[in-house]
């Protein structure tokens, strides 16, 4: 019962997406109504023609000809109306699926970063693309069969009762048998297709992981283990798919068996009625046609159950994404902030896992225009501070103030617009180099793009490419080097000329000579700008105004390079271990 209620709720929710297209729905229903009426008139006309054939040499050809003309017009009208109904149902389906996919994609832009970080990217992609395609297939089949099926069932019942009430009631009495068979099978189909959809998402995640990190896979000779993982998932998908198809394959033969029973009952009762003179031979032939037409929609609808159950299983995953909690609205927050470059962190505590503390009672005051370097061992919270400064994550306790304003009191767009960020993990999209550099700024000129590329020391390698700035980069920059990708990421930030900078190992993939040049460009860019520099190579942060040394989520040392070396503490140990100063 719970299963039925959930399916009903899912289906009702899917139908809410068709509300903007109610006029198309009405037109589809009307076409279905009149189209099926035309098809149901055919057996009556054929029955009349049969009755005009009394016997050899005694055939009323003029009346048969009139019947044939009406029959031809009826068939032609039915075909046209069937085409129109298909057009409207297709339009409803594709418009509905377009809206659903748009809502799902928009939701991805509004969910907290935690959702993206904690779910397989392949699984998310599978939900937005494949699951919604499955819903499309289910809706397309469902709408067409639902409209024509319901009208056909009701229409045939009406025509059969008009010919002979007793035989008509016998057919209606056998109807629950078809419904029982369909219901019994559909429960098992839904469970298996739901499981199948989940396993497909798991497989998509593995494939995305393999394709996106192929170099790492090959470096660690992980191919065989990856194949084993894929084989295990594929085996589960096979087992689940076999059972799903087994149950769905039962639908057609089972309903056909029930249909055969209905047809046989109509034939026997009709034959006895004809012998007793209660119906004519023509009416009997019409009745047999109606019995066949009456059971056909049950057969077709039950065949569509497979598609609908698969669609509902996919809808469950899509709606789970759409129902994810979004970042709190910031429409009422400050959009214009008088910027002075100061940053204050007051008693901030944060943890990704509530059962495992990371940053506790962090305090920091940054003067306008300062260069703040953050160093420390892996996992100490360096990148987490960046996530908090950008409000990718919100603090558990405490406040962060930028230019004297709590960042929770300003729009996220306003806050993030103050920063320019270059990460160690570069990201480029499939498009021209020009478009990649101009990603963060609208209405940019060619001169500005070239100036940014020159400042990042990317201009020279760009000019050596076949089409220069029109050279098309493949997805994630697969056809250029890692260092070149980093230079383009730096050029992208230099073009926007942000008020503050965040550099998270921004020069880690650049050769030493280029790094020196880029570092000079960064120094120029950082002049007068508050800058946060996350670094592992301590040689890159000697000129920082303040170096924050972190360990276990706390700032354990603070000062400039010379001061920290003289203290001989944790920073000095890190520095000496990198440069082997102690010999």
Is the same domain home to 259 and 382? no
Answer yes or no: is 14 within a domain.
Answer: yes
Is the same domain home to 468 and 550? no
Answer yes or no: is 502 within a domain.
Answer: no
Domain boundary among 474, 497, 520: 497
Is the same domain home to 198 and 86? yes
Nearest CA to 141 out of 303, 296, 337 is that of: 303
Is the same domain home to 373 and 441? no
Mark the ranges of the chain whose per-residue pLDDT is less than 70: 1-6, 52, 54-59, 140-141, 143-144, 175-176, 178-179, 181-188, 190, 212-216, 218-220, 251-252, 295, 298-303, 305-306, 476-477, 506-510, 514, 539, 578-583
Distance CA 417, CA 499 (A): 8
The alpha carbon dihedral of 202, 205, 209, 210 has a sign of positive
Is the same domain home to 24 and 46? yes
| CATH code, domain with 194 | 1.20.1560.10
Provide the pLDDT for residue 215: 61
Is the same domain home to 454 and 576? no
What's the structural domain count of the chain? 3
425 close to 216: Cβ distance less than 8 angstroms = no
Is the same domain home to 390 and 404? yes
Is the same domain home to 378 and 483? no
388 close to 559: Cβ distance less than 8 angstroms = no
274 close to 171: Cβ distance less than 8 angstroms = no
Our measurement of the distance from residue 543's CA atom to the centroid of its chain's CA atoms, rounded to an integer in Å, reads: 46
Answer yes or no: is 334 within a domain.
Answer: no
Answer yes or no: is 522 within a domain.
Answer: no
Query: What is the domain range of residue 382?
Result: 367-418+529-583
Answer yes or no: is 521 within a domain.
Answer: no
| CATH code, domain with 473 | 3.40.50.300
pTM check: above 0.75: no
Is the same domain home to 208 and 103? yes
CB neighbour list of residue 526: distance below 8 Å, 6 or more residues apart = 371, 501
Helix axes 165-212, 2-16, angle to 10 degrees: 80
Is the same domain home to 311 and 410? no
Answer yes or no: is 333 within a domain.
Answer: no
Q: Which residues pair with 362 in a beta bridge?
A: 348
Is the same domain home to 107 and 214? yes
Domain boundary among 267, 300, 322: 322
Answer yes or no: is 186 within a domain.
Answer: yes
Distance CA 249, CA 306 (A): 9
Domain boundary among 497, 515, 540: 497
Is the same domain home to 450 and 413? no
Provide the pLDDT for residue 112: 83
Provide the pLDDT for residue 400: 92
564 close to 547: Cβ distance less than 8 angstroms = yes
Answer yes or no: is 358 within a domain.
Answer: no
399 close to 406: Cβ distance less than 8 angstroms = yes
Nearest CA to 107 out of 314, 356, 322 is that of: 322
């Amino acid at each position: 019962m719970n299963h039925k209620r959930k399916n009903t709720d899912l289906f009702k929710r899917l139908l809410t997406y068709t509300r903007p297209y109610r006029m198309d729905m009405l037109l589809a229903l009307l076409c279905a109504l009149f189209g099926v009426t035309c098809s149901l008139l055919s057996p009556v006309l054929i029955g009349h023609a049969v009755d005009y054939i009394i016997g050899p040499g005694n055939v009323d050809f003029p009346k048969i000809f009139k019947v044939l003309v009406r029959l031809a017009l009826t068939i032609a009208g039915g075909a046209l109306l069937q085409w129109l109904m298909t057009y409207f149902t297709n339009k409803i389906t594709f418009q509905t699926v377009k809206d659903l996919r748009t809502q799902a994609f928009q939701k991805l832009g509004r969910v907290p970063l935690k959702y993206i970080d904690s779910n397989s990217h392949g699984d998310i992609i599978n939900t937005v693309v494949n699951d919604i395609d499955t819903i499309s297939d289910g809706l397309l089949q469902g709408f067409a069969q639902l409209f024509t099926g319901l009208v056909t069932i009701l229409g045939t019942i009406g025509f059969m009762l008009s010919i002979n009430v007793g035989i008509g009631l016998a057919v209606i009495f056998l109807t629950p048998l078809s419904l029982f068979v369909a219901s019994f099978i559909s429960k098992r189909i839904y469970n298996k297709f739901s499981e199948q959809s989940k396993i497909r998402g798991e497989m998509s995640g593995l494939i995305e992981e393999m394709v996106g990190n192929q170099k790492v896979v090959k470096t660690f000779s992980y191919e065989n283990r990856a194949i084993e993982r894929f084989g295990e998932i594929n085996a589960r998908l096979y087992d689940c798919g076999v059972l799903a198809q087994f149950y769905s394959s039962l639908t057609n033969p089972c309903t056909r068996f029930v249909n055969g029973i209905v047809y046989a009952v109509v034939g026997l009762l009709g034959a006895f009625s004809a012998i007793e003179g209660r119906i004519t031979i023509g009416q009997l032939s019409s009745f047999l046609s109606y019995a066949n037409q009456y059971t056909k929609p049950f057969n077709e609808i039950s065949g569509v159950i497979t598609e609908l159950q698969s669609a509902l299983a996919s809808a469950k995953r899509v709606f789970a994404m759409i129902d994810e909690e979004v970042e709190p609205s910031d429409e009422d927050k400050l959009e214009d902030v008088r910027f002075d470059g100061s940053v204050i962190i007051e008693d901030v505590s944060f943890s990704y896992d509530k059962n495992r503390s990371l940053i506790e009672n962090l305090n920091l005051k940054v003067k306008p225009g300062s260069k703040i370097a953050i160093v420390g061992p892996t996992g100490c919270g360096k990148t987490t501070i960046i996530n908090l400064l950008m409000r990718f994550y919100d603090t558990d306790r405490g406040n962060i103030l930028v230019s004297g304003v709590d960042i929770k009191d300003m729009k996220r767009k306003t806050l993030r617009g103050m920063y320019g960020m270059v990460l160690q993990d570069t990201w480029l999209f499939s498009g021209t180099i020009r478009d990649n550099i101009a990603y963060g700024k609208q209405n940019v000129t060619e001169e500005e793009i070239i100036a940014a590329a020159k400042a990042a020391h990317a201009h020279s390698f760009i000019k050596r490419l076949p089409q220069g700035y029109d050279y098309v980069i493949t997805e994630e920059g697969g056809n250029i080097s890692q260092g070149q990708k980093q230079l383009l990421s730096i050029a992208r930030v230099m073009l926007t000329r942000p008020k503050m900078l965040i550099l998270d190992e921004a020069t880690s993939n650049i050769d030493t000579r280029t790094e020196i040049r880029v570092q000079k460009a960064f120094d120029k860019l950082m002049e007068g700008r508050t800058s946060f520099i996350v670094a592992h190579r301590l040689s890159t942060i000697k000129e920082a105004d303040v170096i924050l040394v972190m360990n276990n989520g706390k700032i354990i040392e603070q000062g400039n390079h010379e001061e920290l070396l003289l203290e001989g503490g944790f920073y000095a140990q890190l520095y000496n271990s990198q440069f082997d100063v102690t010999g």
